Amino acid sequence: MVSAAEVAAEGAAAAASAAAAEDDAADAEGAATPEGALRRAPAGRPKPWAVGALAIYCALQVIIPLRFVAYPGSVLWHEQGMRWSWRVMVREKNGSVMYRVHLPDSGRTTLVPPGRYLTDHQAREMSGQPDMILQLGHHIGQAFLDAGHSRVEVRVDAQVSLNGRPPALLVDPDVDLMTLKDGLAPAAWIMPGPTTPPIRLDRAAR
């Protein structure tokens, strides 16, 4: 014969089981909705190092292209800060370059065309870029030093046309390139850019 206590215990257990089942059903129904999923998902916080890395990346995307404003004159001419500045396609340069190698010990001066060391394509690309003109000047001077000359001076005559303008001197022809180093400071050996507008052809005459 079942006692009253046992009946009460079984009733309480059944009630607890039913309540738990109802709670599980409610949780499942809530998770099925977007609001429920957001409510149940733990709120994740970005890592500090990730935030810092993203901030640095975004800053570089602004600073690197805008670094040309730190240099006086036209960046299209002196090209300091030109690379990665979204300006590559807004300038066209055509130049003629000839190096003058002077040997103080003998007093002899030799003309050296870029084509002695570069292909035609390389010479065209180099002719309008001051830093490349300087690099080739160093290379030419080192070649003469390696040939046994104790003192070598290298100068350059670089006439360059910018976007259809008349040719103008790009590099100071009186400066010994062997005494220069390319760096981040404004280059005083680069001549001021032309201020005249480009030559415009008369369309009516075509």
Summarize pLDDT for 104-150 with one digit per residue, the tens: 999 999 999 999 999 999 999 999 999 999 999 999 999 999 999 99
Better pLDDT: 170 or 69: 170
| Torsion angle defined by CA atoms of residues 170, 173, 177 and 182, in that order, rounded to the nearest 10 degrees | -20
**Beta strand pairing status for 153-162 and 108-112?**
unpaired
**Which are the contacts of 146, defined by CB distance < 8 A and separation ≥ 6?**
none
Q: What is the mean pLDDT of the chain?
A: 80
Report residue 61 as tokens: 């995307």
Task: Provide φ and ψ at 157, rounded to 5°.
Answer: -105, 105
- Which residue reads 């998770």 in tokens? 31
Q: Where are the alpha helices (DSSP H) in 80-129?
A: 120-126
Which of 196, 198, 194, 199 is CA-nearest to residue 74? 194
Quote the pLDDT of residue 92: 83
Q: With 90 as the cut, is the pLDDT of residue 169 above it?
A: yes
Quote the pLDDT of residue 87: 67
- Which residue reads 């059903």 in tokens? 25
Q: With 90 as the cut, is the pLDDT of residue 1 above it?
A: no
Identify whether the C-beta of residue 198 lies closer than 8 Å to the C-beta of residue 163. yes
Mean pLDDT throughout 74-92?
75
Quote the pLDDT of residue 85: 67
Report residue 180 as tokens: 């220069």
Q: How does residue 78 score in pLDDT terms, banded at 50, 70 and 90?
A: confident
Which of 190, 197, 166, 198 is CA-nearest to residue 72? 190
Quote the pLDDT of residue 12: 53
Better pLDDT: 125 or 63: 125
Quote the pLDDT of residue 7: 44
Number of neighbouring beta carbons within 10 Å of residue 191: 19
Identify whether the C-beta of residue 166 lies closer than 8 Å to the C-beta of residue 179. no
Identify whether the C-beta of residue 177 lies closer than 8 Å to the C-beta of residue 141. yes
**Beta strand pairing status for 108-112 and 168-169?**
unpaired
Q: How does residue 206 score in pLDDT terms, banded at 50, 70 and 90?
A: low
Strand order of the sheet with strand 168-169? 108-112, 93-103, 153-162, 168-169
- The pLDDT tens digits of the residues spanning 22-42 come to 555 555 555 455 554 445 555
Q: How does residue 2 score in pLDDT terms, banded at 50, 70 and 90?
A: very low
